[in-house]
Chain A
Amino acid sequence: MPILSDTKFLVAHYMPYTDLPDECLERDSLWVDIPNAYYDPHKGHALYERYLGEAVLAEELGFDGLCINEHHATPASMMPVPSIIASAIFARTEKLRVCIMGTPPNLENPHRLAEGYAMLDVMSGGRLEVAIPLGTPMEYWVNPVAPATARDRLHESIDIMLKSWETQTGEPKGYDGKFYHYKYLNVWPRPIQQPHPPIFLVGSGSLTTVEMAARLGFGYAATFSPIPKQMKALEIYRQKSVEAGHDPDPSKFPLTAMVYVADTDEQAVEEMTPWADFYFGQLLKSGRFIELPGYIPVDEFRRRDGKFIPESHGVFDWKAIEAVYRVVAGSPETVANQLEKWAEETGSNRIICEVHIGNMPHDKVVSNMTKLAKDVIPILEERRDGAPKVEQSPQSAYLDPPEMMRFRKWTGR
């Protein structure tokens, strides 16, 4: 089935710091305790300039939006405060939407986060989107929040943000929570998109997060996680959304894929391999900091056999990754076929392509984005526009295909 008629294409860029000496790469972890002496601010400046230029290119090539992330104390992302990056991108673009995915609101004062997002939304003329994560375990080693309270704080923080964005016509109300107390919750400015910018919850398949997104009418954005796990989460998200009286429309569950386009499949895989190796084998290496007391429920710990992360993190095997995750490196035709297949199985009309992987050089990012925009997307649109009109029924697409069942054992789900 071709892509849906109103499909939006976004790119994702995680803006890592990549110029790391060999001694640094021998460490067990590139997170939490990696000394910041390894960060050269002048090289960092040059990288920010380069990456912001790539964001501008996303607009020039006609992409609908750009997704950025947030991590702390790691070269994996130079965006501990992604709102600042969003602000810089908005200042350099006119139409591009920016999705901040995202700041864990429990690591901030939630009303200040609501203020910042409202400012960005107003300044950009309504181009902001927000995805809310709990944050990786690693973030809690470098932020002053007890992990065992993280989920409760997250829920209260989201409640505060939503109330912050409500339009007050009379005397503003206060807020009395378990963690936060406000005499008056009265955020100026208020967002230009009403009642607030689009919100997604970021999740790795945990039922609590899926249900919460459905209940609040938010979108659900799956992290980089095994396809069967994402499909299961999507199935529950759709059911629960309907139960909660919300429309799980196809824009609410983005399809995220790591994408590299070259002239031929062989060339694409060959070029992609070292960058992906750097990403999975180095930047995602979190050592012992992935284990965090209180971060997951005890029964979930047991279910995962005491392992916190997918086996892809910290080791690199392209074939193994390709078999379970949404990654594709190939010719325009190959990439188009794969994206079309994934779009069909998810029923999503919001396709996010991670176009910068690991330490991919600038010229390759430019060529990747350009080929994606000029060669791949036109194939997808042509097939759609040339296809006979049929009643599209994404509801039928989200059942687990039988061939995925064999991955269940591997993923423990």
Chain B
Amino acid sequence: MSGVVHTNTAELFLVGQDASNMMGDPAGVCYPTSTAEVQEAVRWARAKGMTFIARGAGTGLAGGAIPTAGSLVICLTKMNQIRSIDVARRSAWVEPGVLNADLSRRTSRHGLHFAPDPSSQQSCTIGGNVANNSGGPHCLSEGVTSAHILALEVVLPSGEVCILDAENSLFDLRGAFVGSEGMFGIATAIEVRLVQNPPHVSTMVVGFASVHEGAMAVSAIIAHGIIPSALEMMDAPITRAVEEYVHAGFPLDAAAMLIVEIDGLEHSVSHGSLEVKDIVHRFGATSFRVAKSSAERALIWKGRKTAFGAIARIQPNYYLHDTVVPRKKLAEVLSQVSIIAAQEQLQVMNVFHAGDGNLHPILMFDKRVDGVMDRVHRAGSEIVRVSLEAGGVLSGEHGIGLEKRDFMRWMFTENDLLFQQKLRSAFDPEGISNPHKVLPRGSGCADMSSIPPGSWV
């Protein structure tokens, strides 16, 4: 096994990072191609007294894939086979390194797709989606990753292989594993649920004169009993940045725009769209456009999902946040976010899953400016604080990782955290699988460690 563990500086530099602003300290990296090789890697690490961390594409934003404590990085990108597709049952067994968008591309000829669609779907892996219980715009009606995972083959931290599914345990071990951020073991095969492609889709782009009116319209649509397949908001700064290079026809005069998508059978789509049109106009919509072709729809979604790339046109660095608030508090919390950014003299843009109340404020900065990181971090913790005060939660889809572990006490009691630790201990009694994540430091329940360079909480 040691023969296939790489320790050269360049590779360790690469796997020491993810899409957060942190840097880890990996001791080695290996690229298994089978369940047996993952098992061997885990056993090898155990025998050496090392901890280990599973890694997919490294697109996570909360530092969940940052190796700590000199872990062995078990990189799963070479386990990228779709093992089987069961069209009748609408399910597939896939390996963890399969890319999210590839799975939907490969199943499209059967009229099926994998519903969770994070913005990183062109590069993120299904294994990473399982670890983070990932979301995406279309999780509003379809539910997040957990609702789409039927079974898992897992290499436990002990080195044993087991299946977690609905038939072989009373407790929902599958449900407990999804979203455990790599701390319960390594998923080596994943049975996913596939969803029928909708026969009809209506995608609407609506402009508003204020963020407040847009947010009120979001609440009104849901309160009216319409569950769109996606309900996204972009504020004026990000809309302009995106429009300049995607040319999706977004309204440049609007202070906020919504993308509302309704899919399903013919009449529910046509009636739903009419109702949405009616509601948004009642809330002061300044423009309303329906995509007339699938190409137009694709361009709208390209604009939405590549929004983060557009930021480079404004500032070299950005920090993307992720909290959830009750929908009725959207307008209030968004205005607090802009005050917080102004206080720290930072530019902020918002592009987010409004229908879920899932905020994604993006703080933009140039990290070469002295002291700017302190301001970014202060603003970040204030955003978390106001979200919790509004009755919200720490994270809607990015996870806790290293980024938010020390905020966990803001949301949970010590006893809540103790029971989370008990669950972790049942899977990983020695705390060797992706140590030091999620649970806060300084309590009986955290793995003991130093903070990796670059982490800020």
- Do A and B pair up? The answer is no
- Residues of chain B whose beta carbon lies under 8 Å from any beta carbon of chain A: none
Interface of A with B (CB < 8 Å)? none
